[in-house]
Amino acid sequence: MTLSIADRLRELGIELPSLPKPAGSYVPFRRHGDLVFLAGQTSSRDGKAVYSGPVEGPDDIERGYAAARLCAINMLAILQHACDGDLERVGGCLKVNGYVLAATGFESVPAVVNGASDLLVEVFGDAGRHARTAVGVATLPRNVTVEVEGTFFLKS
């Protein structure tokens, strides 16, 4: 028997936050046909950075991974809203872009963004597998450690 998305979230100990408010002139998501484009979500909760500052080196990857995981949890909250409260409508994830506030010379950006990618696979199974871009950057809003955006499709 396959677990529902809600059951998987419970099993993972994840409670989705309330819908984050946009910090600028944009909307949290846009739907076009069966596609859902999510705005970038940061490693924040309730408008406050949970993870901030750059990922400094190999000893800091775990913190960055946790930050990316939080970004994915925030994305799921928006995706749930885009699906009128029903994540079972999600057919899969197509693309994830991850941006990591990285110290100069930090080369393990993909290992950090795995925090978001791994969570999507844990929640959606194979439907959570996606194409991805992982980029190290010099600055992010409010000095957060990670920002992640995604594109999903809905079941017909």
Domain boundaries, the chain: 5-17+31-154
Where do we find the tokens 């991850």? 98
For residue 51, the 8-state DSSP code is S
pLDDT in tens, 16-52: 998 877 878 999 999 999 999 999 999 999 889 999 9
pLDDT in tens, 92-140: 999 999 999 999 999 999 999 999 999 999 999 999 999 999 999 999 9
* Cβ–Cβ under 8 Å, residues 13 and 124: no
Strands (E), 46-107: 48-49, 90-101
DSSP run (H or E) holding 80: helix 61-82
Domain 5-17+31-154: which CATH number of 3.40.50.300, 2.40.128.20, 3.30.1330.40, 3.40.50.2300: 3.30.1330.40
